[in-house]
Structure 1
């Protein structure tokens, strides 16, 4: 009896998503479960889809925090805009080059959530019209970049500049945090998830695309997301210490 008959027919297409041929036959038919190359493929696919699933909600804590506070205090609009450009570059570049969806799919969800954050920052700054204009312009640009008429050299240029854009974006936010002496309305959940997501993306990009521009951008993104994480931890501890000192003085 073939091993394939032991696998329910409805599971075969699902398993082939994470273990495309010839790895499906290697792992599930021949049962060579220690095949290193195929295991790397499966791990990469699973990580990629996990990142995409997480990206559906990764920035929702940030959105909720802004809505509850009715303020975008501490969130740098230039930094958010640059981050939006970098994510858009990854989305359009991966889409145009036909990379596996598991290697860039989270960008589609991140652009939507990042654009909302930018709008909310403008909205709660009393600039509703500017916010609506911002979204309208962005949607137009995104539609062009995902269209068949887009110039491929433009996409390559955007992707090549992505690492620099990410670095500048995070540095602007890091400077704002330092200047304010706090991370303001930044969400710790979002900051940490973005950091771990970029770490995982280094591996999946090496495995699934082999594109040096993509890999380099995620290396840079990891480094600068790490900087924001470090600030989040530092100012969190500082806030806790200040709070304890204040309570101690009141008790006296």
Structure 2
């Protein structure tokens, strides 16, 4: 029975902290409480990521338009997410520290697919899906050396910033947030802020921590533009 309970709680509690909590009965251990909070928050982010970009996807699909959404911005973001997913998977980081990247990858790829379908053709969109799936498989299969994945993860920082700032510039140029979803942008901002905390405690990887810290800043800039251009968007509508 104890083994079953230990196995069930292993998602949230490390073996070391299990002994601290349930053998030493020390529920106030600071290190283990931080670990529990980090893992719980990480799993919450993973669960939330299942739907984080769904409002954006629904909005593009219902309007049959990706107007106001930066093509290059989404592409840079997609590359950054793919690199982050492969790097974390191959390093065997705890799933709670990076699992949301898988669902963000799928949803970001869906946004890019819709964008290509509405601006180019369904054939181009279909080809994009195939190429993306192949790239993800190769990167996560272990065929690519970890050193290369590290450099790809490092490249995520300027690419992620470039993607977000391109979107922010598009908003500034149009004085409108176009088809961007407020719910999606808010959830991305909150998720990236929370990921700074979980990355510190779950991985200790400086590249990941810096990536999420800068992502929080960039997401905050885009989120602020909803306030700046709110009246302008209402007039356009």
TM-score range relative to shorter protein: over 0.9
Shift of the alpha carbon at 1:141?
A: 1.0
| Cα shift readout 1:149-201 (whole Å, capped 9, x = no counterpart) | 11222101100111111100001000111111111111111100000000000
Measured on the aligned residues, the alpha-carbon RMSD in Å equals 1.7
Equivalent pair of 2:177/2:233 in contact (CA under 8 Å): no
Where do 5+ consecutive residues of structure 2 fail to align? none
Normalised to the residue count of structure 1, the TM-score between the two structures is: 0.89
Question: Is residue 96 from structure 1 mapped to residue 93 from structure 2 by the alignment?
Answer: no
Q: Distance in 2 between matches of 1:236 and 1:198?
A: 23
2:175/2:232 contact within 8 Å kept: no
Give, in whole Å, the separation in 2 of the partners of 1:237 and 1:30: 59
- CA deviation after TM superposition for structure 1 residue 11, in Å: 3.9
Report SS of the residue matched to 2:11: helix
Look up the match of 1:39.
33
Q: What secondary structure is seen at the aligned counterpart in 1 of 2:15?
A: coil
Gaps of 5+ in 1: 247-252
Query: Which residue of structure 2 aligns with residue 72 of structure 1?
Result: 66
Matched, 1:129 2:123: yes
Deviation at 1:10, TM superposition (A): 4.8
Q: For residue 204 of structure 1, what is the aligned residue in structure 2? A: 198
Match of 1:172 among 166, 170, 178: 166
Q: Which residue of 2 aligns with 1:229?
A: 223
**In the TM superposition, what whole-angstrom CA distance separates every residue of 1:67-120 from its partner, at most 9, and x where no partner exists?**
111111111111111000001111000011111111111111111110010010
TM-score, normalised relative to structure 2: 0.95
Q: Select the structure of larger CA radius of gyration.
A: 1
CA distance in 2, matches of 1:126, 1:89: 26
The aligned residue for residue 249 of structure 1 is none
1:59 equivalent to 2:59? Answer no
**What is the aligned counterpart of 1:156 among 140, 150, 153?**
150
Q: How many residues align?
A: 237
